[in-house]
Structure 1
Amino acid sequence: MNDRTMKAVLFDRFGGPEVLYVGRVPRPQPAPGEVLVRVRAFSVNGGELAARSGRLRLLTGRRFPKRIGLDFTGEVAALGTGTRGVAVGDRVWGVMGRLSGFGSAAEYVTVRAERLGRVPDGLDLVTAAALPVATTAVTALRDKAALRPGERLLVRGAAGGVGNAAVQLGQAYGAEVTALARAANLDFVRSLGARHAVDHRTVAPAELGLFDVVLDTAGTDLRAFRRLLKPGGRMVTITFDQTRLAASLGYIAASAVHGRGRVRFFSGDPKRALFDDLAREVAEGRLRPAVDEVFPLEETAAAHRALEAGGVRGKYVVRVD
């Protein structure tokens, strides 16, 4: 194959994991201010499952073929003119921009230089692919919730990609962490620093007590979890109910004026400074990557299938050889 094309994961119709395949697309070239990254690995995220299945078709449109892949690790392969802050050969991690959407499930990707950070020394690029989404946990706990030492923190979806990072960081920030997860994952979330690990299938929200901060990674039943806030408590959600999109977003908006505590909703859009913060958390031992399983690029559909089945411990990572 010539160097003008590359492998990428594509799909030509909405559907289950079986619609994914590895095809060839034009290899991108960096525009001014952009970086060409040779991708070494990426992780599978819940938003990609929704986009692939068609649940987000109002946002993604119906033009095919479509690409997947949100985050990535790799090496800088080339620089566009005027690009600053990175050099060819740098080991980097990043997340695709809001406007560019998906596309990191490929051999190469182009991104703005400010959307990249350097991977800490001693961390291999496949393992490191579990961590770019941890920037969401940093933003949620540190910036949106202003979590303080001694506060009670509830993490919903604690064994997942953002959740496992939130448990680790919550403990490092001095909070008393309660982690909601499947029964099979309770020992896992305890090993991350959760003081209390609760099976979300057998304990109702009303039985959990009150919390200073609630971090939600599921997007459903927001009303029930919002009721768990202490006076002055803060609730942050990073997603919405994809089966009731309008109602879910409407409730988040209405929470600002009705009842106890506003539900703070945001979608992660990290830049270099936040990646630098992430690298510092790793280097200082407050955060470590949790990789459940690594799949080759040709088995990306199997990685999607595994995430849909539930029960992930950390992240499913796909390596790009």
Structure 2
Amino acid sequence: MDDHMMKAVLYDRYGGPDVLYTGRVPRPEPARGEVLVKVRAFSVNGGELAVRAGRLRLLSGRTFPKRVGLDFTGEVAAPGAGVTRLAAGDRVWGVLGRTSGFGSAAEYVTVPAERVGRLPDGLDPVDAAALPVATAVITALRDKAGLRPGERLLVRGAAGGVGNAAVQLGRAYGAEVTALARAASLDFVRGLGAHRAVDHRTVRSAELGRFDVVLDAVGTDLRVFRRLLTPGGRMVALAFDAKRPAATFGYVAASTVHGHRRVRFFSGDPKRADFDDLARHVAEGKLRPAVDTVFPLEETAAAHRALEAGGVRGKYVVRVA
């Protein structure tokens, strides 16, 4: 076997999950300031499904093959020149940056050393792959929304990869947490710490009450849920409507400029300090990984299919090595 090649999940055209296949590509080499990571696991994120389906093709372009995978856990295989903080064998987790695109669905990935953190001792790397997305939730609740103890927090999509972390962290920050989820997931979100769990398909939004902060992990009907904010309330959207992405971004942009009850869209671009915060929350018992199902690399398409079907509790994780 050629040591300069590796397995990676690819697709040669936009479409459904079936366009994904496991192929072989050149193994990357770390540039100065980067590390080469041997990937142990990654999770499936909603945004990459929209890209794979071609809904953002004006941004993603028509150059193929394309890659999938945004986050990862693994071990440093080789540090690049100038990297002194990390050494071969260090257990790490990270998220590829906004400018890097996708590509963690592979045996190896290169990433700037500043974009990875050390994996907490005792945390299984497959379970841990459910957590890098929580860096965005920490920043959204703590920094973008300024969530304070005693405030009322509404989490939409509370059972999913983003939402389950928001329920846990909202509780840890001292908020009164209302979780919206499917009926079958209400016990799951209560177990995460939600004070109130509501079936999103049977409740009318007006019946939910008022909230100081709304964290949206769904991306649709932002206007409806913005109306539930108290004066001075804050809404942070961590997802977009995959069928109408331009409309979502346009509405959020307008809301940021006009009105006191602003909607902020935040996609996350974590750095080392964010992973240090994440590790601290895990160590303090405020946040635990929630893994729905683990798939092997060759079944990444099945993981995409499962996420598109709805009903996930936590994260779908793909084991690489």
TM-score by length of 2: 0.98
Q: Deviations over 1:262-283 (max 9, x none)?
A: 1011111000000000000000
Per the alignment, residue 78 of structure 1 pairs with 78
Give 1:130 shift: 0.4
Who is 1:262 aligned against? 262
Structure 1 residues 221-251: Cα deviation after superposition (integer angstroms, max 9, x where no partner) = 0000000000111110012223223322221
Q: For residue 228 of structure 1, what is the aligned residue in structure 2?
A: 228
Tell me which residue corresponds to 1:158.
158
Residues 229 and 260 in structure 1, CA contact (< 8 A), matched pair in contact too: no
1: CA distance, partners of 2:156 / 2:84: 39
In the other structure, the counterpart of 2:296 is: 296
Q: Is the 8 A contact 1:226 1:260 kept in 2?
A: no
2:240 pairs with 1:240: yes
Structure 2 unmatched runs, 5+: none
> Are the aligned partners of 1:236 and 1:263 in contact in 2 as well (CA < 8 Å)?
yes
Relative to structure 2, which stretch is displaced further, 82-91 or 109-118? 82-91
Opposite residue 25 of structure 1, the aligned amino acid is: V
Paired residue type of 2:213: V
Aligned equivalents of 1:319 and 1:249: distance in 2?
33
The one-letter amino acid paired with 2:30 is P
| 1:192 alignment counterpart | 192
* 2:93 match: secondary structure: strand
Task: Describe how 1:21-60 pairs up with structure 2 within 5 A.
Answer: 21-60=21-60
Task: For 1:162 and 1:135, locate their aligned partners in 2 and report how far apart those are by CA, in whole Å.
Answer: 10
- CA shift, 1:260, in A, is 4.8
In 2: Cα distance, 1:267 partner to 1:39 partner: 23
What secondary structure is seen at the aligned counterpart in 2 of 1:87? coil
Residue aligned with 1:104, SS = coil
**Percentage of pairs with the same residue:** 81
Bigger shift: residues 256-265 or 10-19: 256-265
TM-score normalised per structure 1: 0.98
Q: How does 1:1-321 map to 2 (within 5 A)?
A: 1-321=1-321
Aligned partners of 1:48 and 1:2: how far apart in 2?
29
Deviates most, 77-86 or 119-128: 77-86
Q: 2: CA distance between counterparts of 1:15 and 1:246?
A: 19
* Helix, strand or coil at the partner of 2:256: coil
The structural deviation recorded for 1:304 is: 0.5
Say if 1:227 and 1:260, in contact at 8 Å, map to a contact too: no
Which secondary structure state, in structure 1, belongs to the residue aligned with residue 49 of structure 2? helix
Tell me the SS of whatever aligns to 1:255: helix
After TM superposition, the structure 1 stretch with the greater mean CA deviation from structure 2, 139-148 or 244-253, is 244-253
Instruction: Please state how far the C-alpha of 1:218 moved relative to its aligned partner.
Output: 1.2
- Report how far residue 259 of structure 1 moved: 4.2
The residue identity in structure 2 corresponding to 1:43 is: S
Total equivalences in the alignment: 321
Matched residue type, 1:220: T
Misfit runs of 4+, over 3 Å: 257-260
| Deviation of the 1:79 alpha carbon | 1.0
CA distance in 2, matches of 1:123, 1:186: 26
